[in-house]
A and B are shown apart, each in its own frame.
Chain A
Amino acid sequence: MNKIPEKLLRGLKVVVFLACLGPLAVLTWKAFHQLLGANPVDVITRSTGKWTLVFLLVTLAVTPARRLLRMPWLIRFRRMLGLFAFFYGTLHLMTYVWLDQFFNVQSMLHDIAKRRFITAGMTAFALMVPLAFTSTRGWIRRMGGKRWQKLHRLIYFSAAAGVIHFLWLVKADRSRPLAYGLVLLMLLLVRLVTWLVGKLRMHHAGAIIAAPALRRQVANTGDEPI
């Protein structure tokens, strides 16, 4: 599975794109059929919030997954998944602005300043905005790979703020936010380990002329976005 035909990849992209719209489709269908239960706004808020976090974590899983599974082509899905995180994040924010606060600006500003879980949520969203904006090929070229990559590490902080947002809003049962936190922690640990191994190899490569295979790997860690 090191390489797959371009045609298949394009087909897969369409499938993944439609699957990513699934949660929204289910919500919309339920809303039209009065199946959102006693407190529909609460269900919409929770659902869009959950999918924002899920897409953030799935996006963060792409890089480790393509290494571990030796499927480098997975990178082709990363931008789409990240943009879906932003998409559901926007829906989540709109639910708050419209259905929860009813465009009451004063009340929202008060909320953002005073409620730490809202502050965390707003931070998580704000950090996604520049990433969504600069997600195009054009912006990668304009910024240069290294700088673009650096900027896009903001996703770590966005995801962390998202988990904290969830953790701070629950009343007593912390199991779900902690589960998301654990997954995020693992995804970040994988990166730390990869980075440390890379450093060590660089060090060795500098001292002795490494085997060609090793050199190839060093080069790989160097130019791939983490």
Chain B
Amino acid sequence: MLIKKPNDIPSSEITPKSSYVSRRAFITGAVAAGAALAGGAVLRNSISSGAHPATVEAAGEKLSGIIKSHYSATETPTSYKDITNYNNYYEFSTDKYAPAGLSKDFRTRPWAVSIDGMVKKPKKLDIDSIMKLAPLEQRIYRFRCVEGWSMVIPWVGFPLSALIKQADPLPSAKFVAFQTILAPDQMPGQRDDVLQWPYVEGLRMDEAMHPLTILAVGLYDEVLPNVDGAPVRLVVPWKYGFKSIKAIVKVSFTDKMPPTTWNIMAPNEYGFYSNVNPTVDHPRWSQATERKIGASLFAPKQKTLMFNGYSDQVASLYNGMDLRKYF
């Protein structure tokens, strides 16, 4: 497959410098706070599980050995503050500002991801071994929410294909299904039946194997904060955000299109594919434009790009498909 680099981004789309500078100031503070937090977390972990080594990584801890990727967008990332304070994480709350606080004490260790279904090597992988499956890369991706807002996020992760290869799927496996942890004791949102829990998502095998599809374990060169789906989440940058399932505990291989949470909730509004597509509106609102988080209050919305700007890389996956029908 021929992979092209994304086109240059017009200067009008780049986050204004003022917010970039204030982000730096914030990160300095966040790193200091993170360091203090990490100290506490290590201590807590060594008390709770004596056998566990004291190298447990906690949110805010710096990740090392990250390599840059040519798949990264050239845009300036959204501020750390906005990425970690504004998102949809219905397991904690339907309010976009609430998960940041509610997810603070979410336990990401111990954590295991089971891989099963149509594979030659079903297995259960510990999160620390998952983080060593492949070299960690920085992937700065555009992120487009189905609600009409967008960010630019500097994820740290590795291609999902690295994990898939470990499991060695059977040729009959055509889809990959993912599942979020079910932990209503820790996730207050799961005590309401706003959605069907646990959250499930899925990809076609070729989408899952695509080099742009990653498992993210970090953000801004640090361990992924709980609010953004720690310890491990999916990121599929050409699809609406809800496809990028968080806090994954299960990956299954199957020959049937797996059920997906928002599709179960409203099948006429959220399809299995959910590729970012400015020409196919959500039944209740337009998808032609998006509000860039961090832009000025009086800045007009920007145009949404086909496949969120990743057409060159992914359009060929959908050759001959009617994207109005398979929305």
Q: Give A residues with C-beta under 8 Å from B.
A: 31, 36-42, 99-100, 102, 107, 110-111, 114-117, 168-169, 171-173
Contacts and interface: CB of A to CB of B under 8 A. Distances in A.
A116 B90 CA distance: 25
A37 B265 contact: no
Contacts of B85: 37-38
B194 A173 contact: yes
Contacts of A107: 286, 288
B297 A117 contact: no
Contact of A172 (B82, B194, B286, B291): B194
B195 interface: yes
Contacts of B194: 172-173
Given A41-B297, A102-B300, 13 more contacts: A36-B297, A39-B293, A41-B291, A42-B291, A100-B301, A107-B286, A107-B288, A111-B286, A115-B286, A116-B284, A172-B194, A172-B195, A172-B266
Contacts of B195: 172
B90 A169 contact: no
A31 B149 CA distance: 19
A168 to B, nearest CB: 7
Contacts of B147: 171
Contacts of A42: 149, 291
A38 B265 contact: no
Interface in B281-327: 281, 284-286, 288, 291, 293-294, 297-298, 300-301
A35 to B, nearest CB: 12
A41 B286 CA distance: 17
Contacts of A116: 284
Contact of B97 (A37, A99, A111): A37
A40 B294 CA distance: 9
B197 interface: no
Interface in B235-272: 265-266
A114 B282 CA distance: 11
B46 interface: no
Contacts of A111: 286
A138 to B, nearest CB: 39
Contacts of B284: 115-117, 168-169
Contacts of A36: 297
Contacts of B291: 39, 41-42
B86 interface: yes
Contacts of B81: 38
Nearest to A103: B300
A169 B283 CA distance: 11
A41 B301 CA distance: 11
A183 to B, nearest CB: 20
B79 to A, nearest CB: 8
25 contacts: A31-B297, A36-B297, A37-B85, A37-B86, A37-B97, A38-B82, A38-B293, A38-B294, A39-B149, A39-B291, A41-B297, A42-B291, A99-B297, A99-B298, A107-B286, A111-B286, A115-B285, A116-B284, A117-B285, A168-B284, A169-B284, A169-B285, A172-B94, A172-B194, A172-B265
Nearest to B82: A38
Contacts of A31: 297
Nearest to A104: B300
Contacts of B293: 38-39
Contacts of B265: 172
Nearest to A31: B297
Given A38-B293, A41-B291, A102 B82 contact: no
Nearest to B85: A38
A220 to B, nearest CB: 45
Contacts of B294: 38
B302 to A, nearest CB: 11
B287 to A, nearest CB: 12
B283 to A, nearest CB: 9
A5 B281 CA distance: 58
* Nearest 6 Cβ contacts at the A-B interface: A38-B86, A38-B82, A173-B94, A102-B300, A38-B293, A40-B297
A114 B286 CA distance: 9
A38 B85 CA distance: 8
Nearest to A43: B97
Contacts of B266: 172
